[in-house]
Amino acid sequence: MGKSSNIAIIGTGSAAYEHFKCLKLLNSNKIYIVTRKKKNHKIKKFKNKKTKIIEGLHNIPSDTDAFVVATPWYVNDKIVNFFKFEKKPILFEKPLGAFNSNYKFIKYKKNKYVGVNRRYFKTISYVKKLLNNENYQILDVDVRISEKYLLFKKRFKNHLSKIYFFSSIHMIDLIIFLFDSPKNIIKLRSSKSRNFFKNKHFYFKYKKFNLSLNIYDDTCENNSITLRFTNGEKIVIKPLEKLQHYDKLIIKKINDKKFYIPHVKKEIIEKNSHLKPGFFVQMKLFIENKLSINIQMYTNTLKLIRYLSNA
């Protein structure tokens, strides 16, 4: 299948606009903006020579080559059902399968992709490449997630079963992306936070290393991934836009006193731009039909999210 040139974006929110900005830079031939009603104040920012506003899913032009679904995340499953027999490429904003398991019955799964853009951060790409180097054998991994319990309590009745489908889904997906599914999971003792959300702690067992996952309620720290290697080196990604690779301790004298300071071998910081990190690479791969994370591959992420939700 060749490059997609006529793209329909379903939705007019912030995520839809981020995808739109990428498509403009990638010189798409036509961009259709699909909204429920044309009298929508959000559509003004989408208007240019290549765009056309479409009212309703049933009115999407037949010359559309691919679709980008960027509706509010809690209605994504309904959109999946609308497109369940569609054979053209579709990129869905995360998450899918939050409210039902209809994804299991969707035909043509290989053409339906999930937008987990953190996979395309420069920091994550660096680690993914490094893990293929035999000189970097993992000693252990620490993953920390800070989730906003109160936000979900206000929005949903059964909020605890849905909380890991929010921003946490990216961190959980990165565990699968970087390290694959664990061989075994041990749940450690949990404690309640000030908002009565259970801070959860898990031990993931892999063949050659262990991973500790700590999920907290709205702490004052960024989400993070820390990797230690058998060669003594260490990588800290915190926040996900910043990576520091340490390779040794060096001695520094301050006021005639010796201090052992970790030496930074490599530092990567996602530079500020008008594009959201990871979105451009993800969209480029999508329209070139080279994107890897389709619904079938997303299954392992979904299984892990559901386990953590119920644990």
Residue 310 placed within a domain: no
CATH of the domain at 91: 3.40.50.720
What is the spatial distance between Cα 248 and Cα 136, in angstroms, rounded to a whole number?
Answer: 14
Does residue 301 sit in helix, strand or coil? helix
Asked whether the beta carbons of 295 and 302 are under 8 A apart, the reply is no
pLDDT of 174 above 90: yes
Contacts of 133 (CB under 8 A, 6+ apart): none
Neighbours of 32 (CB within 10 A): 22
In this structure, the answer to whether residues 94 and 139 fall within a common structural domain is: no
At 203, the pLDDT band (50, 70, 90 cuts) reads: very high
The torsion angles phi and psi of 84, rounded to 5 degrees, stand at -60, -25
Residue range 198-202: mean pLDDT, rounded: 85
Report the C-alpha dihedral over residues 127, 133, 137, 141, rounded to 10 degrees.
10
The pLDDT tens digits for 66-93 are 999 999 887 888 898 899 899 999 999 9
Could you list the residue range(s) of the whole structural domain that residue 93 is in? 6-115
Pair 109, 66 in one domain: yes
- Three-state secondary-structure class, residue 270: coil
Residues 69 and 137 in one domain: no
Does residue 144 register a pLDDT over 80? yes
A 10 A CB-CB count for 100 gives 12
Q: Which of 89-103, 123-137, 260-274, 291-305 has the lowest mean pLDDT?
A: 89-103
| Residue 293 within a domain | no
Q: Over the Cα atoms of the chain, what is R_g?
A: 21
Number of folded domains in the chain? 2
30 occurs within a structural domain: yes
182, 205 contact by CB (below 8 A):
yes
8 A C-beta contact, residue 266 and residue 123: no
Q: Which residues contact 213 (CB under 8 A, 6 or more apart)?
A: 143, 144, 145, 175, 200, 201, 202, 203, 204
Q: Are residues 107 and 128 in the same domain?
A: no
pLDDT digits (tens, 9 = 90+) for 263-278: 999 999 998 778 999 9
Residue 95 DSSP label: P
